Amino acid sequence: MAELKLKDVAKTYGGSVEVLKNIDLEIGKGELVVFVGPSGCGKSTLLRMIAGLEEISGGTLEIDGQVVNDVPPAQRGIAMVFQSYALYPHMTVRDNMAFALKLAKKSKEEIDAAIANAARILQLEPYLDRLPKALSGGQRQRVAIGRSIVRDPKVYLFDEPLSNLDAALRVATRIEIAQLKESMPDSTMIYVTHDQVEAMTLATRIVVLANKGIAQVGTPLELYERPENEFVAQFIGSPAMNLLPGKVTGTGAQTTVKLDGGGVAVSNAPSTEADMGASVNVGVRPEDMTEVEAGGDYIFEGKVDFTESLGEVTILYFQKAGRADPVIAKLPGIHGDLRGRHVHMTVAPEKVQVFRDGKSLYYR
């Protein structure tokens, strides 16, 4: 059974500013679902509605089979972990974690057992008697998570929990969150982030929010390999997927597209007679391109304008006839400065996407 069910959920601020509408989503027990989307798309708003910190303007929210639209936050069985740790500075780690349980008048035995369990899961046992100021940023974040764990909530909500940490600590804490999830397989977690790597590595499913609604829900690999629409195709992956305009010249189990300005792409996306001659965009990821010799099979060619060498990969920006924006390719390894070189690129048909009216041919 779904732990969390959102039906036709909407949010309007001040009676007129519509932020979200028609949100239908089911989240199963034990899932870690990540909300991503451009700034201002409503990720935090959706999370705060689930937490009960923001009123739901339309539709219903069910937790564990019960409609909770009007249930106060404290009674929803939900714990929220924010960006800022908000620990009590004058209390030890143990007392910070015990605070909510003492307020709830739990017995000393229950409190001790809950803290021992959380400290074990989060590896905080050596720090229980320290004050927050004597902890690193990552350890403080773990205490903040510990305060949620002791309450044994049905659902954990994380609002960009790593965004205050520096790059190295972010990576370490991300791995800790992944391990935390593994040590609590039945806990359901919802996680908001701007960071693609966090989304791809932590999520059992990703929800991409855009244009007031859900652009796609799927596993990280589904979103990467089979984006439903151009928005998701360009939002997931970095550098973004190239979109190359062209016309359909062959249909059936494979689709052939003659690209504007020259080149022919073949995709395993299926099409029908009705697609013949249609204007489409061919989508190819920078990392799926392979440079080939001139004269062999290639799908497009161009002249390199600029390169960026990142060590493990080299990014090529090249001009292709028929487009203003550069086409971007990502080649493994170090290639030096290729500026001025004429390149011929190929992409395997299973990696080539075709979008008609913004929708992938794979989803019809």
Ligand X SMILES: Nc1ncnc2c1ncn2[C@@H]1O[C@H](COP(=O)(O)OP(=O)(O)OP(=O)(O)O)[C@@H](O)[C@H]1O
Interface positions with ligand X (CB under 6 A): 13, 17, 19, 37, 39-45, 194
Q: How far is the CB of 214 from ligand X (least distance, A)?
A: 13
Neighbours of 291 (CB within 10 A): 15
Q: Give 66's strand partners.
A: 63
Alpha carbon distance 211, 215 (integer Å)? 8
Tokens of 161: 């929990």
Q: What are phi and psi of 103, to 5 degrees?
A: -60, -35
Q: How far is the CB of 39 from ligand X (least distance, A)?
A: 4
Tell me which DSSP letter residue 326 carries.
P
In the bound state with ligand X, the residue whose beta carbon lies nearer, of 122 and 192, is: 192
Q: What are phi and psi of 75, to 5 degrees?
A: -100, 10
In the bound state with ligand X, the residue whose beta carbon lies nearer, of 54 and 291, is: 54
In the bound state with ligand X, the residue whose beta carbon lies nearer, of 18 and 260, is: 18
Q: How far is the CB of 31 from ligand X (least distance, A)?
A: 20
Q: How far is the CB of 244 from ligand X (least distance, A)?
A: 29
In the bound state with ligand X, the residue whose beta carbon lies nearer, of 20 and 266, is: 20
Q: Give 207's strand partners.
A: 35, 217
In the bound state with ligand X, the residue whose beta carbon lies nearer, of 39 and 75, is: 39
Who contacts 76 (Cβ-Cβ below 8 Å, separation ≥6)? 51, 52, 63, 68, 155
Q: How far is the CB of 54 from ligand X (least distance, A)?
A: 8
Alpha carbon distance 346, 364 (integer Å)? 26
Q: How far is the CB of 159 from ligand X (least distance, A)?
A: 8
In the bound state with ligand X, the residue whose beta carbon lies nearer, of 212 and 303, is: 212
Q: How far is the CB of 40 from ligand X (least distance, A)?
A: 4
In the bound state with ligand X, the residue whose beta carbon lies nearer, of 19 and 128, is: 19
In the bound state with ligand X, the residue whose beta carbon lies nearer, of 16 and 75, is: 16
SS3 label, residue 118: helix
For the chain, what's the residue count?
Answer: 364
Who contacts 161 (Cβ-Cβ below 8 Å, separation ≥6)? 81, 82, 83, 141, 144, 145, 173, 177, 191
Token look-up 């195709």 returns 233
Q: Are strands 264-267 and 255-259 parallel, antiparallel or unpaired?
A: antiparallel
Token look-up 């007679």 returns 273
Q: How far is the CB of 18 from ligand X (least distance, A)?
A: 9
**Are the C-beta atoms of residues 150 and 97 closer than 8 Å to each other?**
yes
